[in-house]
Amino acid sequence: MQALPRRLHTISLLSLPPKHVNRIQIPSPTWLHNDLARSFHTTGRLRALELAFDYHENGGKAQGAPIVFLHGLFGSKKNNRSISKALARDLSRPVYAVDLRNHGDSPHDKTHNYIALAEDVENFLQQHKLKNVTLIGHSMGAKTVMTMALRDPGCCSNIIAVDNAPVDAALASDFPRYVEGMRKIEDAKVKSQREADAILEPYAKDLPVRQFLLTNLIRTAPNEPLKFRIPVRTLAHSLDDMADFPFNNPDEVHFSKPALFVRGIKSHYVSDETLPIIGRFFPRFELVDINSGHWVVSESPEEFRKGMLQPNPVYILKWFTLRLNILICSSRC
């Protein structure tokens, strides 16, 4: 099997109409057809929660199709404020930056898995009557938008999945350590951010990561200890669910609309080995690499923005090579 190209640039899913997204069409092999697709709406829907959100519309100038932006684990809508404003300005499209359940200002619930997260956001789209949506998600949010697209391809026009893949894969060992440190902070009943940071430092060596995690600390009343607004214990018990993916057979279900996968080249979440399975679930996928770790949007916001918005003429030939390699691997694996 030929080596898959490591760095690619992409034609933007955001700035081009759907018929222009992929300029090279490769016939889909038989395993991409959806004859055996099962329905995920016929039984046992979970209780959808009403999600908090920020709305960015560039002073009323953003009138195009909406974008819905989902954060990652331990994040919130505030993490995506700057990039949401930039997209609303650059694309004249309104952006809804959403807090997923158990995060930010959204309600808490003991159930925290991708089906529950997907149903919450599906309910959000229905409540706000959003059509022709682009779904963008980072990490946990990426698996959520992938789940939504595979459950109901009609829910959106396209998706952008940032640094995650549609596979069962263990979370980085950092995340259980973060949870342990956050639980230590809760148990200590700290009164200041400085105290919290000192407790968290052995569990999260990088200052930006600690600052990110500690944005979840709030004071509910004067002179009361700080507490996390996220349910740390619920999320701790859900780490295995966050590593899983609710679909495991691309012969049964796929999303045939455009899908952009953005990965950090210093991150391990979207390895070259995952590209064939991405191609089977999302046969029209495109790929762009960003010089960052897992926290792509915050580490390299300008490169992330340009990677989505700027076409690159050399992309088409590289994309064809990638697609050919994926088809060869899929037929042999």
Quick: pLDDT tens for 216-273: 999 988 889 999 999 999 999 999 999 999 999 999 999 999 999 999 999 999 999 9
Q: Do 141 and 255 belong together in one domain?
A: yes
Which of 217, 239, 261 is where one domain is finished?
Answer: 239
Among 212, 239, 266, identify where a domain stops.
Answer: 239
Torsion of CA 262, 254, 240, 226, to 10 degrees: 50
Q: Check 76, 106, 139, 157 and give the catalytic one.
A: 139
Domain holding 211, by residue range, is 174-239
Give me the mean pLDDT over the 7-26 stretch: 38
CB atoms inside a 10 Å sphere around CB 26:
14
Catalytic residue among 112, 138, 254, 294: 294
Residue 54, both tokens: 């920020």
Q: Do residues 92 and 163 both lie within one domain?
A: yes
Mean pLDDT of 4-15: 43
Looking at the domain assignment, is residue 226 inside a domain? Answer: yes
* Domain count within the chain: 2
pLDDT band at 120 (very low <50, low <70, confident <90, very high): very high
Task: Indicate whether 9 belongs to any domain.
Answer: no
In a domain, 183, yes or no: yes
Same structural domain for residues 120 and 156? yes
- Structure-block tokens of residue 101: 């359940």
The label of the residue with tokens 């930056």 reads 97
Could you tell me the sign of the dihedral formed by the alpha carbons of 241, 246, 249, 254, in that order? negative
Tokens representing 69?
């932006």
Residue 97: what residue type? A
Residue type, 287: L
Q: Which residue has the higher pLDDT, 65 or 8?
A: 65
pLDDT of 47 reads: 81
237 annotated active-site: no
Distance (Å, whole) CA 1 – CA 326: 9
- Say whether 294 is catalytic: yes
Write out the E strands in 134-176: 134-138, 158-162
Of 213, 239, 265, the last residue of a domain is 239
User: Is there a single domain that holds both residue 81 and residue 204?
Assistant: no
